[in-house]
Amino acid sequence: MRFFKVVLASALGYLLAAFIVIFLTIAFIMSIASSAKPEVKINHDSVLNLKLNYPIEDRTNTNDPFMVVSAFDPNLDVPVGLNDILNCIEHAKTDDDIKGIVLDLSGIQAGYGKISEIRTKLNEFRETGKFVYAFADYYYFTSYYLASAADSVFINPEGEMLFNGLSAEVTFFANTLKKLGVDMQVIRHGKYKGAVESYVRESLSPENREQISAYINSVFNTVVGEMAVSRNKSFEEMKSDADQLKLRSNDDFIAANYIDAKVYRDEFYAQMKKRMGLDSSDKVELVTLHKYNKLVSRSGSGERIAVVYASGDIVGGKGDGQEIGADAMAKTLKKLREDDDIKAVVFRIDSRGGSSLASDIIWREARLLSETKPLIVSMSDVAASGGYYISAPASKIVANATTITGSIGVFGLIPNAKKLLNEHLGVNVEYVNTGEYSDIGRVDRALKPEEKEYITEIVERIYQQFINKVSDGRNLTVAQVDSIGQGRVWTGAMAKEIGLVDELGGLEVAIALAASEAGLEEYRVREYPHFKDPIQQFISQMQYQSQLESTIERSSFALYLKSLLDAQKWGSQHSVQMLMPYDLNVKAYQLH
């Protein structure tokens, strides 16, 4: 037995050493690539190719391995963030080498907020007299929303278009949990706080159905209204077409002026060349976003405005790079507050919320910053619950009309898995306590009345703190905030009407507001937080993973799972998966 242990330990040691060597080699290559600056040129008759078939984030991740390695080949098609997409279109407006833009939209992965900002910039581009052409093998509601901003919309002859409106999907697990023997114990403040309904109901509550219907219809009305303007159609006609599913074929859509022509891709390029005044035999360079981004200058002149990106769930600590770590974000905001070279800050938020404590840590630094220099919030696709909490200190809040925001509410969710563990899995755990409530939070028994009362008091206290801080930041009475709170979700357009948002627009509108409040006519934009180099990022993720594993290991439920996994030594395997359904076809919202 000892022999096998030694062999296993040695094998694991060699594997670990090999992994470290491989990683360091990759990191070395990436470091070289990130510093490499090959000369990038484009031809005179070029077209900017917007192929947006990837998840569009607010900011380009310059430490993405594909992004870094692509420094060796600028023609590679790699993801570019919304910030650089907008900047590239802005630069192309006055670039004599760029004659137009092609939207390649067979697949687009972005929320309506981000798409709206791209549409706005494309409309500005068209005002210069340059063309925007859209092509796709098929169009769905989301992709057509962007395509409708083009001069001409083309589709593959054998492709399809579906114009049917919006739908919000909510999955309910109450019956599943009941069969498993799990009772979800909910304490919440806010009759609209629908995030918990998936675990405790079999259908939507009237309040939740009301709010979902209100905000998806608000999004629908905004999107169809913009489409109608772009295609010279009436809103009523387009709404009727979607509601009744009137249009079935490409010919139907062409006749109704949704699409200009059905062509194969080679014919599409021939049409494009004709628009440029070229012969079909002439060559046109399709410049990728990534390649063009390398040519675009961000230097600017004058004082500095900082744009701070906060994307993902709000968590304690530093986060893993895909989350908003409270300590890391607070450190960034403090640094900008103390930096005299930074004259204003734009806080760009794309978050459905998270930890109430972590949200408050960020709120505190945002509040201190707002007392020393202008702080403008720019909301992306979603800035709700904890995402709205950290927005509250801003002097101005800017959101897209389709941004999901609000959700001013709080909930606690504690599972009682006694039946699952004891009867179905045969797991029994005994506790030896110093007091009656020492084991509060156990998942193998129901909450006692006193414990439920205790947790309710915490939820109520956090909710009161939430509405007080929104009241202070928005110059609304506590009663007003409570009436529009209760966990209810609003779109940006709706939120502006009730005082939760000041202006409708995207990141550029927020930056212009920041410059105005700081009294700046010329300024340079600097983006934060700074990306770490590959080695630092790897070390941070390893540290975060270690902290996460430590936290999981300390939880009582993890002890049960560990015991089950230990059963593998007898030849059996067990796997438990918990799925949180928070996506209503739109990023959702919750403040834990």
pLDDT of residue 567: 38
Residue 40 lies in a domain: no
Out of 46, 359, 370, 385, pick the active-site residue: 385
Query: Residue 307: which of 295, 318, 298 has the closest Cα?
Result: 298
Same domain, 486 and 576: yes
Torsion from C-alpha of 209, 214, 216, 217, nearest 10 degrees: 130
pLDDT of residue 182: 87
Residue 402 lies in a domain: yes
pLDDT of residue 351: 94
Distance between CA atoms of residues 471 and 482, nearest Å: 9
Which domain range does residue 111 map to? Answer: 46-163+247-293
Same domain, 558 and 503: yes
Same domain, 196 and 264: no
Same domain, 131 and 80: yes
pLDDT of residue 559: 46
Same domain, 308 and 279: no
DSSP 8-state code for residue 530: P
Residue 38 lies in a domain: no
Residue 259 lies in a domain: yes
Distance between CA atoms of residues 372 and 375, nearest Å: 9
What are 139's strand-pairing partners?
161
Residue 39 lies in a domain: no
Distance between CA atoms of residues 327 and 360, nearest Å: 11
Distance between CA atoms of residues 251 and 262, nearest Å: 8
Same domain, 172 and 153: no
Same domain, 253 and 197: no
Same domain, 58 and 22: no
Query: Residue 120: which of 505, 451, 479, 427 has the closest Cα?
Result: 505
Same domain, 253 and 204: no
Q: If residue 307 lies in a helix (H) or strand (E), which one and from where to where?
A: strand 303-311
pLDDT of residue 245: 92
pLDDT of residue 569: 34
pLDDT of residue 54: 87
pLDDT of residue 174: 86
Give the strand order in the sheet containing 131-139: 261-262, 152-161, 131-139, 98-104, 46-51, 285-288
Residue 576 lies in a domain: yes
Same domain, 352 and 494: yes
Residue 241 lies in a domain: no
**Number of folded domains in the chain?**
3
pLDDT of residue 18: 56
pLDDT of residue 577: 22
pLDDT averaged per 10 residues, the chain (length 592)? 49 56 52 53 91 91 57 62 95 96 89 96 97 96 96 96 91 87 83 78 90 94 97 97 94 97 96 92 91 80 91 89 92 97 97 91 98 98 95 98 93 85 86 90 88 90 94 96 93 97 97 97 93 53 48 47 41 28 34 36
pLDDT of residue 583: 39
If DSSP codes are grouped into helix, strand and coil, which group holds residue 491? strand
DSSP 8-state code for residue 152: E
Out of 193, 262, 496, 587, pick the active-site residue: 193
Same domain, 62 and 90: yes
- CATH number of the structural domain spanning residue 215: 3.90.226.10
Strands 342-351, 324-325: pairing is unpaired
Is 385 noted as a catalytic residue in this protein?
yes
Same domain, 281 and 353: no
Residue 240 lies in a domain: no
